[in-house]
Amino acid sequence: MIELQGISRKFQVGNEAVHALRSVSLGVKPGGYLAVMGPSGSGKSTLLNIIGLLDRPDQGVYLLDEQNTTDLNDRQQAAVRRHKIGFVFQFFHLVPRLTAAENVELPLILAGFDADERKQRVQNALSALGIADRSRHRPDQLSGGQRQRVAIARATIMRPGIILADEPTGNLDRASGREVIDILENLNKQGMTLIMVTHDPELGRRASRRIQMIDGRIQSDKAQTHEDI
C-alpha cells in the first residue's frame, strides 16, 4: 500500500528553485497497475524516485505499508528498497563488467543469501524471462530487449511487492518493447504493484489507472474505463 500525502520536492539550481513536485497526494493499492504520463519535465521521474525511496521529499508524508518512510535512516531505506521495490530503468543500468547472471544475482548478494540459493533463483528467473542461454554474456553482448529482460529479472529476483519502471521501453524498438510490457503486465497479474512512466498513450491506456502530470501536479487521475479503449 503506497500512500503519498502532500509530497513536495524542489531543486535549487543557482538562484532559481525548480518545483519538480508540488504537494502531490496519491494512493496506490497492492496489485495496482498505474501509468504515469505527462510532458517532459513534469516531475514523473521525481515522483517515481520518491516512491522508490531513492529520493527524499522536502515536504509531505510517504507511508509504505503503513510505515512512515521519511523517518527511516539510510540503512533502513536501503533494506526497504532491497525487499519491497524493484526498479526498471530506461537505460537498463546493468554493470558492464558483470555477466547477465551476475547482474541478476546482485540484490541477492546484497541481501546476504548463500551461493547455492542464489544460483538456483537466478537460473529460475532467467529461464522465466527466456534468457537462460544468455546468462554468461556481458551486457555489451546482449540486445536492448535482452538487456531490459535482465534488468527486469534483477528487479524481481527479490520478489518485491512493487515494480517501478521509468520509460522501460524508451530505448527499445516496438517489438522488444511489446515483449517487455507483456512481461511486466504478467508480473502485475501475479500480484505485483506496477507503476510505469511512459510517453506512449497506447501503453498508458493498457493500465488500470492512469495519472497525468503537468508542472509537478497531478492533473488528472482516471481509473480505466471501457470508453477509453
Please report the beta strands in 136-200, taking only residues with DSSP state E, as ranges in sequence order: 162-166, 193-197
Binding residues for other proteins restricted to 194-223, rule: CB under 8 A: none
Is position 82 an interface residue for other proteins (rule: CB under 8 A)?
Answer: yes
85-88 and 162-166 strand pairing: parallel
Answer whether 179's CB lies under 8 Å from 4's CB. Answer: no
Is position 147 an interface residue for ligand ATP (rule: CB under 6 A)?
Answer: no
Q: Which listed option, Mg ion, ligand ATP, other proteins, none, makes contact with residue 75 (CB within 5 to 8 Å by class)? A: other proteins
Stretch that binds other proteins, among 59-67, 78-86, 171-179, 203-211 (CB under 8 A): 78-86
**Any residues with CB less than 8 A from the CB of 119 and at least 6 apart, and which?**
none
**Contact code string over 33-72 relative to Mg ion, x by CB under 5 A:** ------------x---------------------------
Per CB under 8 A, the list member of 17, 109, 159, 219 interacting with other proteins is: 109
Per CB under 8 A, the list member of 27, 30, 68, 110 interacting with other proteins is: 110
Per CB under 8 A, the list member of 91, 133, 143, 173 interacting with other proteins is: 91
CA dihedral 96, 102, 104, 108 (to 10 degrees): -130
Q: Of the two residues 49 and 146, which places its CB atom closer to ligand ATP in the complex?
A: 49
How many Å apart are CA 229 and CA 205, to the nearest integer?
7
Q: Is 220 helix (H, G, I), strand (E, B) or coil?
A: strand
Answer whether 186's CB lies under 8 Å from 128's CB. Answer: no
Binding residues for ligand ATP restricted to 44-103, rule: CB under 6 A: 44-46
DSSP state of 216: T
Q: CB atoms < 10 A from the CB of 225, how many?
A: 7
CA angle 126–127–133, rounded 5-degree value: 80
Q: Which listed option, Mg ion, other proteins, ligand ATP, none, makes contact with residue 110 (CB within 5 to 8 Å by class)? A: other proteins
Is position 170 an interface residue for ligand ATP (rule: CB under 6 A)?
Answer: no
**Contact code string over 126-165 relative to other proteins, x by CB under 8 A:** ----------------------------xx--x-------
